[in-house]
Amino acid sequence: MRPVRYVRPAVIAAAIAALHEERIAALPPSDSLAQFIAGGTNLVDLMKLQIIRPAMLVDINWLPMDQITPNGAGGLRLGAGARNAETANHPQVQKHYPLLSAAMLSAASPQIRNMASNGGNLLQRTRCSYFYDHATPCNKRTPGVGCAAIGGLNKYHAILGASAHCIATHPSDMCVALAALEATVHVQSDGGTRDIDFADFHRLPGIHPERDNTLLPGELITHIDLPELDRFASHSAYLKIRERLSYAFGLVSVAVALDLDDTGLIREARIALGGVAHKPWRTSAAELCLVGVVPQRQAFERCAEMLLEGALAQHSNGFKIVLAKRTVVRALEAATAGTAQTHDFYMGALE
């Protein structure tokens, strides 16, 4: 049993100060010695398995970060402390950002969604089995020891953006939708505040797979801003393919948002893939190829090919390339049919 100190600050500045003081007290300074905790749905598991062993937990549940309010620019501000269930079922999210609501409701179980926070969702660690197994080498857990997934059991692993050091995937559904919606992550530290475009928040593994995101030491996510995007509300879809219908991480997921003009042509397209890379995957060329075209299968198939360009399979996950292409086409068809009609597409089998 390893003792863990616990503090419960009442204001954001005090929470940041507590984490900062613990960091600088360490020799050498280390982020792993203190952790913010909200819902704890991933962090507690990591602690139980001794993947991380913090000396102090800073409870941020009491901070004023749990509201969902207009952001003053026509969009919506999601407090980092707001729970996933509250966010997914919020009337303004469902009305203006049905893509986000659908993605979040497809994740985990109702019990976990009731506990998990928005900020914590962004910070989820991979569910790669080797990451959680101390008996196998994992560069993400212990840099420099190797990656057991390469050459191992890699059915669930990355086909895009991987490196020779890591082929893990990011597990979040919420983040796939936020990538398509081009959200902004707001953070605060003892050095001030900073805004991070969602596309820049998560990292590809490269030579440092232990770094999941671009947060700086001591930074706290305070809220997530969604831009005004009513033009996409009528034609969006989140399609997640998994081995069982609930409480399972996706083999492949696709978030699609379309803006159609009065003649039915595509004016703008947003497409993000989940379950295929170390971060939500978007390709601007694949989205641009749909602009000005009739929304039909031939165009969707061409888009899917562009989105999966450069995909590389491991020995047991090559099926994900074909699956991803078909899922992109199916999601685009669902979005074209209209947001209110997407349930039938979610439940249908891929052709």
Q: How many CB atoms lie within 10 A of CB 351?
A: 8
Residue 3 binned pLDDT confidence (cut-offs 50, 70, 90): confident
**CA-based nearest residue to 119, from 46, 221, 196, 11:** 221
What the block records as the tokens of 102 is: 């659908």
Residues near 209 by beta carbon (within 8 Å), at least 6 away in sequence:
139, 140, 143, 147, 163, 165, 166, 168, 278
**pLDDT of the residue at 340:** 59
For the full predicted model, state whether its pTM sits above 0.85.
yes
Task: Answer yes or no: is pLDDT of 273 > 50.
Answer: yes
Give the mean model confidence (pLDDT) for residues 24-28.
58
Whole-angstrom distance, CA of residue 280 vs CA of residue 278: 7
Nearest to 15 by CA among 56, 45, 55: 56
User: What pLDDT is recorded for position 1?
Assistant: 65
Q: What is the 3-state secondary structure (H, E, C) of 190-233?
A: CCEEEEEEHHHCECCCCCCCCCCECCCCCCEEEEEEECCCHHHC
When pLDDT is cut at 50, 70 and 90, the band that residue 32 belongs to is low
Could you tell me where the DSSP H helices lie in the chain?
A: 12-25, 43-48, 84-88, 91-96, 98-105, 110-115, 118-122, 174-181, 284-288, 297-307, 319-337, 342-347
State residue 24's pLDDT score: 65
pLDDT of residue 176: 98
Q: How far is CA 351 from each of CA 109, 142, 324, 329, 348, rounded to the nearest angstrom? A: 28, 41, 12, 10, 9
Using the predicted structure, report yes or no on whether residue 266 has a pLDDT greater than 80.
Answer: yes
Asked if the model's pLDDT at residue 293 lies above 70, the reply is yes
pLDDT at 343: 42
Least confident of 61-75, 313-327, 329-343: 329-343
* 341 has a pLDDT exceeding 50: no
Distance, CA of 306 to CA of 14 (rounded, Å)? 48
Q: What is the pLDDT of residue 342?
A: 42
**Mean pLDDT computed over 254-267:** 98
pLDDT in tens, 109-140: 999 999 999 999 999 999 999 999 999 999 99
The pLDDT value recorded for residue 344 is 45
- All structural domains of the chain, each given as residue ranges with its CATH number in brackets, are 5-59 (3.30.43.10), 235-343 (3.30.390.50)
Predicted local confidence at residue 246, as pLDDT: 78
